[in-house]
A and B are shown apart, each in its own frame.
Chain A
Amino acid sequence: MMASRIKWAGVAVIAAGLACAPLILEQTGNLFWINVIAEIMIWSLLAASVNLLLGYVGLLSFGQALYFGFGMYGVAIGVSHFGLGLWPAFFLGVGAASAMAAISGAVAVRLTWHYFAIITVVFSLIFYFVAMSAKSITGGDDGLSFSTPALWEAAGLSLTDRVTQFYFIYMIVFACFAAFALLVASPLGMRFAAVRDNENRASLIGINVYLTRWIAFVIAGFFAGVGGALFALFGRYASASYMFYHVSGEAVVWSIVGGTGTLLGPFVGTALLILFREVISGIWENYLIAVGALVILVVMFAPRGIVGIFNDLISRRERSKEGREDSEIEPLAQAD
């Protein structure tokens, strides 16, 4: 189908563009932007985590920052308190985030609609406060700094080199989005779609709705945890303030602006809003007003988000090319 070919071409362009970015930026001397793009990729995982739940399973979580935080602290505490190497710390962070998602998900997924959103916030707040008060372990509000362990001693690769760090993050984020794409196209992904589309019907054809939602919740926690772990490695820093509901809320905004229910929507939304912030904050100190207004306008006029609208345009173009409209589908009974 032409439409999906265009979409995949778009994905390829973005992936290739990102791969070349550091080399181009090095040449033009804009080293600062290498780090900005790296940060965008990291935060896009948090947005992707929101997107999985909201766009594919129909659950609005306002507390994904909790799992981001677990990933972040897993690495920070692993390195500074236990002296772990890079990969062990990374897996500790991701594992902690996924485990937390499994436990809290078992409880949260029982609820639906507003109550689900509320309890996700409540959980993230509880741990935010715990992290704030356990200053000795987490560094509280001031945060926990550490020096990054070597990436690959033998090859002399270290995250202190901007470009190496960029590609490290790029490869992991790429792998995550690739896994996301596979997931969505898989039978499990179809299960998610069924639960989101018509919960009643789903259970009538034999789907365990609760279990399906829980699985999605754990996977979402996993993605958020990877983001948090990368964030800690990137900034050599972890702070409880990144677990606050405001962070979760921003991730929801990025996901919606980019387009929920699409593969690259979270990336596009995150990129747009972080670039917006970097560019506008230099010009207008109170740029957050513009961001807030943008959010409201997007919900009012473009709730499908940027990538969502793009997809709609492509599909419509394809359908009109083939000359077939939905209304032309004759009911079988009349077709004799």
Chain B
Amino acid sequence: METALEIQGLTKRFGGLTAVDNIDIRFPKGILNAVIGPNGAGKTTLFNLVTGMLPATSGHVFFQGEDLIGKPPHQIVARGLSRTLQIKSVFGGMSVRDNIRIAVFANEGVSNPFRPARGYRDISRRVDEILQETGLNRLASANAGALSYGDVALLEIALALANRPTLLLLDEPICGMSPSETERTVERITKLARTIDVILIEHDMEVVFKIADLITVMAQGRLLVQGTPDEVAKNDKVQEVYLGTPEEVE
């Protein structure tokens, strides 16, 4: 199977603390990948390293044949790799439509200072497309700062779609959502995963086991195990990491 993302020997040290420890992971293409692990396992740090938001201590991250390590975030985004943030953060001072519009502009490399932004037809069309895809069209004129938490998460995904990514990294996309919001978002994610490669960090085991094709388990900055939901569910080491050894469960 082809590879969506290949991580080799990736290490990140913060002074005395090793957050990511010499990791080798291969995320195959064409399936929905999930990364799980207890708190402090290094999952978000991994995403931060891959997207250039944190400098790596050592190692390589191969995406479409290139090593991403050492590149600044905006260049990585330009290569077709997008992510959403664990702590949802959008452009609170703008409308939902403008949020997506600026993302599309940035991707198309448009920065003509003399034409009104509203005048670009094809850009507006793409913005409408994304609004449809994520179901945000009803909120298009709303101020992003006034949205509910669940809708901000959807907007995050919308922003990540603006650059027509080949790989989408979602960091706890349904964290803090109500059950109905969760259902809608999960539906959208599975639909997206049909055309885009997705790697998902999630804590909600029910969701992960339902939608993921391949689960990567991390603990203490290292890769613990990688396998299908069935394999992972039966794995002793995983149970230990999450539930503790039988003697500890008292």
Contact = CB atoms under 8 A, between A and B. Distances in A.
A300 interface: no
Contacts of A329: 139, 142, 146-147
Interface in B132-152: 135-136, 138-139, 142-143, 146-148, 150-151
A332 B111 contact: no
A183 interface: yes
Interface residues of B, number: 53
B102 interface: yes
Nearest to A198: B91
Contacts of B163: 205-206
A233 B116 CA distance: 33
A31 to B, nearest CB: 38
Nearest to B103: A205
Contact of B107 (A202, A205, A326, A331): A205
A332 B151 contact: yes
A245 B60 CA distance: 48
User: Chain A interface residue count: which class?
Assistant: 20 to 34
B181 A206 contact: no
A194 B91 contact: yes
Contact of B117 (A190, A204, A327): A190
Nearest to B98: A190
A323 B180 CA distance: 28
Interface stretch (B1-9, B26-34, B70-78): B70-78
Interface of B: 51, 53, 72-74, 77-78, 82-83, 85, 89-94, 98, 101-103, 105-107, 110-118, 120, 135-136, 138-139, 142-143, 146-148, 150-151, 154, 159, 162-163, 177-178, 180-181, 184
25 contacts: A185-B118, A186-B113, A187-B111, A187-B113, A188-B111, A188-B112, A193-B94, A194-B94, A197-B92, A198-B89, A198-B91, A200-B89, A201-B91, A203-B74, A204-B53, A205-B102, A205-B106, A206-B78, A206-B106, A326-B143, A329-B142, A329-B147, A331-B151, A333-B148, A333-B184
Interface of A: 182-183, 185-191, 193-194, 197-198, 200-209, 326-327, 329, 331-336
